[in-house]
Amino acid sequence: GERRYIIAPKGLQAGDPIRSGEDAPIKVGSCLPLRNIPVGSVIHCIELRPGKGAQMARSAGASVQLVAREGRHATLRLRSGEMRKVLSECRATLGEVSNGEHSLRQLGKAGAKRWRGVRPTVRGVVMNPVDHPHGGGEGRTSGGRHPVSPWGMPTKGYKTRKNKRTDKMIVRRRGK
């Protein structure tokens, strides 16, 4: 066998042997095509196009459930509640990604955010009109218009999805 870095599934230790391919066993860490994975399984690291590599459910604690298979497509239930079709030839890894508590860590101070390259968040309403649509006014003002980004795009509740080509693969949108 060969040694390789992978996105670690929950319950797998460093150095554990795993198999990959059509005939891989159905156990955590095995990577195989969706057509060979039992319906109801929890999976992660899912390809959206066969052979392109994993694009979905890769972050800490992420998982997706395989809920159905019909014809050339498999239906997945994402964490957001979205139901999505993916080609059955696409590969996925069994299990969920480890380190699910990653989002609960305490950074401790603002400087720890800076070490990670995150800059301070400045509200548009405290800027000048040259810097933001909400800027300006004498004293404290309400912004005077619906919330927008610095470039004038509506923020709260405005649909920004612009990929019509893959809309047909979404069975049910998130939040519906």
| 10-64 residue pLDDT tens | 999 998 999 999 999 999 999 999 999 999 999 999 999 999 999 999 999 999 9
Note the CATH number of domain 1-105+167-176: 2.30.30.30
Per-domain residue ranges of the chain: 1-105+167-176
Q: Rounded to whole angstroms, how far apart are CA atoms 113 and 120?
A: 9
Say if pTM beats, i.e. exceeds, 0.85: no
Going edge to edge, which strands form the sheet with 83-87? 31-33, 91-94, 42-44, 64-70, 73-77, 83-87, 170-172
